[in-house]
Amino acid sequence: MNLRKTFATALLGSACLTAPAQAATEIQWWHAMGGELGEKVNAIADGFNKAQSDYKIVPVYKGSYSETMTGAVAAFRAHQAPAIVQVFEVGTATMMAAKGAVYPVYKLMADTKQPFDPKAYLPAVTGYYTDSKGNMLSLPFNSSTPVMYVNKDAFKKAGLNPDQPPKTWPEMETAAKALQKAGTACGFTTGWPSWVQIENFSAWNNIPIGTKENGIAGLDAELTINSPAHVKHIADLALWQKSKIFDYGGARLRRRAEVL
């Protein structure tokens, strides 16, 4: 089992199917990619626009992931929805339940007779956005995976080998204690704990996080994150927080730490 934080493109309404006219038909594409990633999105849209003259993709940065989805929901209710919106994986259930608001990608491709092969995507990505009947609901756009950063200078100062970073949680605890003993205030921290410390932890250990195929097969799914492995891991984090071996500074807040 391999869960990744993936972002899908949901098609709202039918604006994207407007017939070509003499003037290029504008297609609003709302997204949550800021900074360098936002520049990549603009480059993709620019490349498409230059490749033909019938349509013009207009990428619009709408803020954070949650702000983008919330804005799209509000726009749909006001009958001013964009043709395309990027939604992060946390919004999957909301999109799946928004009947009449989202045009499922499998149906869009079939209706417009466009070739579409879900197997072209990574199985973990395809599976996340496919319903229990095997229908792919949204178009995968990008996929993220957690990355661990190591401060090699701090490792050397603590007598640790920077070329052999921790590979297990017990090793992480040992390294964090050594870093703290050498003068580092915080041994390690993490962003997005529900994703990294629950979803990815579960994936690596092949432990479900919920019933009904981790929630994909129905909205009446129940969380199963009270397993012995989950409880022990969260208890360890809580214990480490007390001595600042681990120090949580918020999902999006970047704090100084030697191991992320």
Q: What is the CATH number of the domain that holds 107?
A: 3.40.190.10
DSSP helix/strand/coil, 251: coil
Question: Are both 96 and 39 inside the same structural domain?
Answer: yes
Question: Are both 43 and 83 inside the same structural domain?
Answer: yes
Domain assignment present for 43: yes
Q: Among the three residues 114, 144, 174, which one is the final residue of a domain in this structure? A: 144
Question: Are both 112 and 31 inside the same structural domain?
Answer: yes
CA distance 229 to 54: 54
Question: Are both 117 and 61 inside the same structural domain?
Answer: yes
Would you tell me how many other CB atoms lie within 10 Å of the CB of residue 229? 13
Q: Give the chain's residues under pLDDT 70.
A: 1-22, 251-260
Question: Are both 166 and 65 inside the same structural domain?
Answer: no
Domain assignment present for 51: yes
Question: Are both 66 and 157 inside the same structural domain?
Answer: no
Residue 165: the pLDDT is 95
Residue 166: the pLDDT is 96
Domain residues for the domain of 202 are 152-243
Question: Are both 38 and 95 inside the same structural domain?
Answer: yes
Q: Quick one: CA torsion of 223, 7, 25, 40, rounded to 10 degrees?
A: 160
Q: Which helix (H) or strand (E) holds 255?
A: none
CA distance 3 to 125: 8
Question: Are both 78 and 195 inside the same structural domain?
Answer: no
CA distance 130 to 137: 6
